[in-house]
Amino acid sequence: MSFCSKVKDELCKNSFQSRENIYCEAIGFFLFSKFIKNDGIHITLENKNIIQKIIGYLKYLELEYQDFHILTKDVSPQKILTSLSIYGCLEIENIINNKIIDSKNYKYKSDFLRGVFLACGNVSNPNSDYHLEFSISDINLGLKLFSILETVKECKFKASSIVRHKNLVIYIKGSDSITDFLTFIGATNSSMEFMQTKMVREVRNYINRTNNFETANIAKTANASALQIKAIKKIKQKIGLEALPEALKEIALLRIKYPYGSLEELSLHLHKPISKSGINHRFKKIIKISDEL
């Protein structure tokens, strides 16, 4: 199961505080679902939890809101076909403005956005990316959603938008913004999982970077040591190490004794410890002498 499916399953299990909450969530879902046709809403889904959620919408709204004029033609585990005067009777513009945007009850926005996410939202697996988006075919409706997201002051997420394949795509980037949004719409467990996955991913990346850095340093030290030992052996064969100045002879003998030692380690064994740059300078002199032989 994808991470997005887990989020939607969790949202489907949320219990409502009031019929107003159901109303706001249902408005969000039906408005932004991609199933609106001329004769109603045609919904075909495989997610059984979302199907049950929609059935719950229909049951409550038929009883409580006459202006919905819902007629359920067929309700089955695979398909829901409804006749719904969603643009006529509901006066959607006024409902969104009065009930969602201008409302002082932040829960209405939370419920509305939960419905929108169930209808057209998607969130990436935090193991691979930090991206959440809504894809809306109706540009004007998408702009309305964008304005609603901007009114949410309870969270610090920032939405952006692009046009992709004639759809308006509204997206939220960044792990903190996404976890804030998931928490706001009621997916608290998914939000925690997102954060935990992010932390594990960052620790793993840090370990990999550290290991790569250490491996690179080891390889660099080994290559330098091999070059130094080759030069020392050539000098020993051609003229003998006794021909070297005492300082160069001392470091040459230490390199033979500690072939894998770092410059810092070699410095600890010197009669008078010197800096890494000082030791490196001595090895350069040894290599130069070797090249001239």
103 pLDDT band, cuts 50/70/90, is low
122 pLDDT band, cuts 50/70/90, is very high
Helix (H) or strand (E) holding 124: none
* 148-187 residue pLDDT tens: 888 887 777 888 889 888 889 999 998 888 899 999 998 9
Higher pLDDT, 241 or 16: 241
- Cβ–Cβ < 8 Å for 27, 115: yes
Nearest alpha-carbon partner for 136 in 151, 147, 126: 147
- Name the one residue in this structure whose structure tokens are 């901007």: 150
- Name the one residue in this structure whose structure tokens are 């409902």: 95
User: Has residue 133 got a pLDDT over 90?
Assistant: yes
pLDDT at 36: 54
User: Has residue 88 got a pLDDT over 50?
Assistant: no
User: Parallel, antiparallel, or unpaired for β 159-164 and 131-136?
Assistant: unpaired
- The Cα 4–Cα 124 span in angstroms is 7
40 pLDDT band, cuts 50/70/90, is low
Burial of 234 (0-12, 13-18, 19+ CB in 10 A): middle
* 257-280 residue pLDDT tens: 888 788 888 888 888 888 888 888
- The Cα 116–Cα 63 span in angstroms is 22
46-73 per-residue burial string, b: 16 or more CB within 10 A, e: under 16: eeebbbebbeebbebbeeebeebebebe
pLDDT at 271: 84
- The Cα 113–Cα 221 span in angstroms is 57
pLDDT at 72: 43
Tokens of 158: 């920032």
Q: What is the mean pLDDT of the chain?
A: 78
Enter the DSSP assignment of 99. Answer: I
pLDDT at 90: 43
* 50-76 residue pLDDT tens: 777 877 777 766 544 444 444 444 445
Torsion angles phi and psi, residue 28, rounded to 5: -60, -45
